[in-house]
């Protein structure tokens, strides 16, 4: 599992994940991921375009970030998730808690909304 911090500015956190968000993958990136999102307390865009699989542990990691940011009045948006990731999140009924889009401009709009 690979994680890159693409942006860590005053108004936005942008992180890209690549690989499999399974037991091993989550173990490799969870601490750094939460530090790059929740700990910063900024709205976050998480690029999932290179994530090929997500387990319940991966979903849990994303939900931890969403809940942590919500406590700080901030949001998280998933950018460009693969179709199988979208299906898994919808099957787990998490798509309402984890807004998703394939468009960067729309991601920014979702973060700014309400």
Rounded to whole angstroms, how far apart are CA atoms 78 and 47? Answer: 6
pLDDT tens-digit profile of 71-98?
999 999 999 999 999 999 999 999 889 9
CA distances from 18 to 4, 10, 29, 42 (A): 9, 25, 10, 22
Q: What is the C-alpha separation between 41 and 13, in angstroms, rounded? A: 9
The whole-model pTM stands at: 0.96
Q: Are 32 and 66 in contact (CB under 8 A)?
A: no
Q: Which of 56, 31, 36, 57 is nearest to 46 (CA)?
A: 36
| Cα(22)–Cα(12) distance, integer angstroms | 26
Give the pairing type, strands 100-101 and 76-79.
parallel
C-beta of residue 83 within 8 angstroms of C-beta of residue 54: no
Query: Could you read off the pLDDT of 14-63 as tens digits, one per residue?
Result: 999 999 999 999 999 999 999 999 999 999 999 999 999 999 999 999 99
For the chain, domains (ranges, CATH) are: 2-112 (3.30.750.24)
Q: How far apart are CA 55 and CA 105, in angstroms?
A: 28
């Amino acid at each position: 599992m690979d994680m890159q911090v693409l942006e860590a500015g005053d108004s936005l956190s942008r992180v890209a994940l690549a690989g499999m968000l399974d037991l091993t993958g989550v173990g490799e990136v969870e601490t750094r991921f939460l530090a790059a999102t929740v700990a910063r307390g900024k709205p976050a865009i998480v690029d999932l375009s290179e994530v090929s699989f997500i387990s319940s542990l991966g979903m849990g990691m994303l939900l931890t970030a969403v809940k942590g940011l919500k406590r700080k009045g901030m949001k998280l948006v998933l950018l460009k998730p693969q179709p199988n990731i979208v299906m898994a999140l919808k099957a787990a009924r998490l798509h309402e808690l984890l807004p998703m889009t394939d468009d960067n401009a729309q991601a920014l709009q979702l973060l700014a909304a309400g």
